[in-house]
Amino acid sequence: MKSPSVNDNNANLVDGSDEITKQDIINLATLKNIILIDKNYATNHITIRKKKIMTSYEIEINDIDGKKHQLIFELKTYKK
């Protein structure tokens, strides 16, 4: 899953992978009805830990008010 890259759109990845972007995370958090007070701050404070090689990501988003949102996403990618 890739969003269009605008400036430095890659998240802080623990394992060095760049398969998911900050904008992807913000979009998925919005779909999960997670309210972020300051999206720009939250975008700069995202940590992604890849749990499994291809499918599972553990996400931590820190908001400006000190709240931490932790999410686990199972993403499936298909090769063309």
Phi then psi for residue 62, to 5 deg, are -100, 125
Residue 3: burial class (beta carbons within 10 Å; 0-12, 13-18, 19+):
middle
Distances, alpha carbon 3 to alpha carbons 18, 25, 26, 37, 69, in Å: 12, 10, 11, 22, 21
Break the chain into its structural domains and give their ranges. 12-74
pLDDT tens figures, 5-57: 333 444 454 444 447 788 888 998 999 899 899 999 999 999 988 876 667 88
pLDDT at 60: 93
Kindly report the pTM of this predicted structure. 0.62
